């Protein structure tokens, strides 16, 4: 209950604080992050993910080296910044985590229901796909976002994502855009990015997957999106739902052309 009250207060704070220039607390945290980025524990998960990618596992005893992330079977370099993309083999737009889980199911024979049971990291458990996403993301470090928007399916997904971001509902009549739709908003200490702009969207997709120092857990963009819905008091989307892919498409396409710095570190 205490947690719920706290979050209500956070919601109110968004409305109460007008645009603030970059404040001292944010600047201090950025310094802290700069120091830590050089030694980001996310790299441990990259190593783990690489091993998982290359090891023969699952009921089919197969590795993921035949997994096509859009650039051909097994090509990992640069794949992350070119997702979400439309995959003709399944006729769907998929983001990185969704595609990786698809490969784990179709190539390695894991069961989607088993993976969906505990899809995100906790203090005691890091799902395999989280480590694999971190590895794949690390292989796009210092590359520019180049989401292939030339497909009509991608443009459609983008428009759906844009709609979802603006969709107000739930007990607080909230939408993603209530916090992330205009410049200069913040919740408590956190400045919020405006995902409808190139700059804001770049900030939002940057640093995911991220290692969260609170608790020391590795989290993906899928997790972040799902958590946004929780904070809005929406029903929780199913793991790897179209909704989340659409939102990630919307943000990634808005961030098109910006430099991806690799898995990040979060507060």
Q: What letter would DSSP give residue 68?
A: B
d(CA 174, CA 104): 35
Has 228 been annotated as catalytic? yes
| Residue 65 near other proteins by CB under 8 A | no
d(CA 136, CA 76): 6
Residue of 67, 176, 179, 228 with catalytic role: 228
d(CA 149, CA 83): 10
Backbone φ, ψ for residue 70 (5° rounding): 110, -15
Please report how close the Cβ of residue 46 comes to other proteins at its closest, in angstroms: 9
d(CA 65, CA 226): 29
Q: Which of residues 182-211 bind other proteins (CB under 8 A)?
A: 211
| Residue 215 near other proteins by CB under 8 A | yes
Residues 180/165, Cβ–Cβ less than 8 Å: yes
By beta-carbon proximity to other proteins, the closer residue of 49 and 237 is 49
| Residue 4 near other proteins by CB under 8 A | no
Cβ partners under 8 Å of residue 48, min gap 6: 126, 131, 134, 135
By beta-carbon proximity to other proteins, the closer residue of 13 and 213 is 213
The stretch near other proteins (CB under 8 A) out of 15-23, 32-40, 101-109, 166-174 is 32-40
Please report how close the Cβ of residue 229 comes to other proteins at its closest, in angstroms: 21
d(CA 157, CA 244): 10
| Residue 124 near other proteins by CB under 8 A | yes
Q: Which of residues 42-61 bind other proteins (CB under 8 A)?
A: 43-44, 47-48
Residues in contact with other proteins by the rule CB under 8 A: 36, 38-39, 41, 43-44, 47-48, 123-124, 211, 213, 215-216
Write out the catalytic residue numbers. Answer: 228
């Amino acid at each position: 209950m205490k947690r719920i009250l706290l979050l209500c207060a956070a919601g109110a704070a968004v409305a109460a604080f007008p645009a603030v220039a970059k404040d001292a607390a944010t600047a201090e945290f950025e310094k802290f992050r700069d120091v830590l980025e050089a030694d980001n524990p996310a790299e441990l998960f990259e190593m783990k993910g690489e091993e998982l990618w290359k090891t023969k596992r699952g009921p089919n005893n197969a590795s993921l080296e035949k997994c096509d992330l859009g650039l051909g079977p097994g090509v990992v370099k640069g794949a992350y910044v070119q997702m979400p993309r439309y995959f003709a083999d399944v006729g769907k737009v998929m983001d990185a985590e969704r595609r990786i889980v698809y490969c784990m199911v179709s190539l390695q024979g894991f069961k989607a229901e088993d993976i969906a049971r505990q899809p995100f990291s906790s203090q005691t458990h890091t799902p395999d796909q989280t480590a694999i996403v971190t590895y794949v993301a690390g292989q796009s470090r210092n590359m520019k976002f180049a989401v292939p928007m030339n497909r009509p399916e991608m443009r459609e997904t983008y428009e759906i994502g844009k709609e979802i971001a603006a969709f107000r509902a739930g007990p607080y009549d909230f939408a993603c855009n209530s916090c992330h739709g205009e410049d200069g908003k913040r919740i408590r200490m956190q400045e919020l990015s405006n995902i409808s702009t190139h700059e804001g969207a770049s900030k939002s997709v940057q640093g995911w997957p991220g290692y969260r120092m609170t608790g020391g857990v590795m989290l993906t963009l899928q997790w972040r999106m799902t958590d946004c819905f929780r904070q809005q008091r929406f029903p929780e989307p199913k793991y790897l739902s179209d909704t989340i892919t659409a939102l990630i498409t919307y943000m990634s396409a808005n961030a098109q052309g910006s430099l991806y710095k690799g898995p990040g570190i979060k507060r």
